[in-house]
């Protein structure tokens, strides 16, 4: 999956050198910390900086939905409420830039089966990002991919620091 976009200020200007800390689940729906000894430490995690034009891009895996563990307090509460424990597929972000508020956010796959029933009510329309399947041979070649891939384009806006 190719993830790309821009980091902007509220005035619309692009933010060069913004720090992007991102992490996600693997193909089985687990973060690295949930599979110690199976996944390597820091698997599917990265820290990047935007270019001079405020753009970013990186390759990752298409995330999957995943459940909260059912044996802890959150899992027990969800069970008592008759709710499922699943989070829809998403990528986690922490975005930082000098003079701007730090943003901790997600982007979600709008086609995920749990998108309307997120266990933690974290989904909102502005966080939905189209996960487009790219199977055009020319685009595959242009991006240097080995075959079809998903592409996600999402811009973030950072507010001035107070």
Q: pLDDT tens for residues 84-131?
A: 999 999 999 999 999 999 999 999 999 999 999 999 888 999 999 999
Q: What is the pLDDT of residue 3?
A: 96
Domain count for the chain: 1
Residue span of the structural domain in which 19 resides = 2-158
Q: What is the pLDDT of residue 37?
A: 82
Order of strands, sheet of 19-23, starting from the edge strand that comes earlier in the sequence: 45-49, 19-23, 90-96, 103-108
The CATH number of the domain holding residue 46 is 2.60.130.10
Q: pLDDT tens for residues 65-85?
A: 988 777 888 888 888 999 999
DSSP 13-79: -B-TT-EEEEE---TTS--GGGSBTTBPTTTTEEEEE--TTSEEEEE------EEPPTTSHHHHHHH
Report which of 107, 2, 96, 104 is spatially closest to residue 49, judged by C-alpha positions. Answer: 96
Global confidence as pTM: 0.88
Q: Is the pLDDT of residue 42 over 90?
A: no
Q: Are the C-beta atoms of residues 35 and 82 closer than 8 Å to each other?
A: no
In terms of DSSP bridges, do strands 132-134 and 90-96 run parallel, antiparallel, or are they unpaired?
A: unpaired
């Amino acid at each position: 999956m190719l993830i790309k976009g821009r980091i902007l200020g509220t005035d619309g200007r692009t933010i060069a050198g913004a720090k992007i800390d991102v992490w996600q689940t693997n193909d089985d729906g687990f973060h690295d910390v949930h599979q110690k000894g199976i996944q390597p430490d820091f698997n599917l995690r990265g820290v990047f900086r935007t270019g001079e034009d405020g753009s970013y891009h990186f390759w990752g895996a298409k995330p999957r939905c995943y459940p909260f563990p059912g044996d802890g307090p959150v899992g027990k509460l969800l069970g008592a409420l008759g709710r499922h424990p699943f989070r829809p597929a998403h990528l986690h972000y922490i975005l930082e830039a000098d003079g701007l508020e730090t943003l901790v956010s997600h982007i979600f796959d709008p086609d995920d089966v749990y998108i309307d029933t997120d266990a933690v009510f974290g989904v909102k329309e502005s966080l939905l990002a189209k996960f487009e399947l790219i199977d055009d041979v020319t685009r595959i070649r242009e991006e240097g991919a080995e075959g079809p891939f998903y592409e996600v384009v999402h811009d973030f806006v950072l507010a001035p620091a107070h």
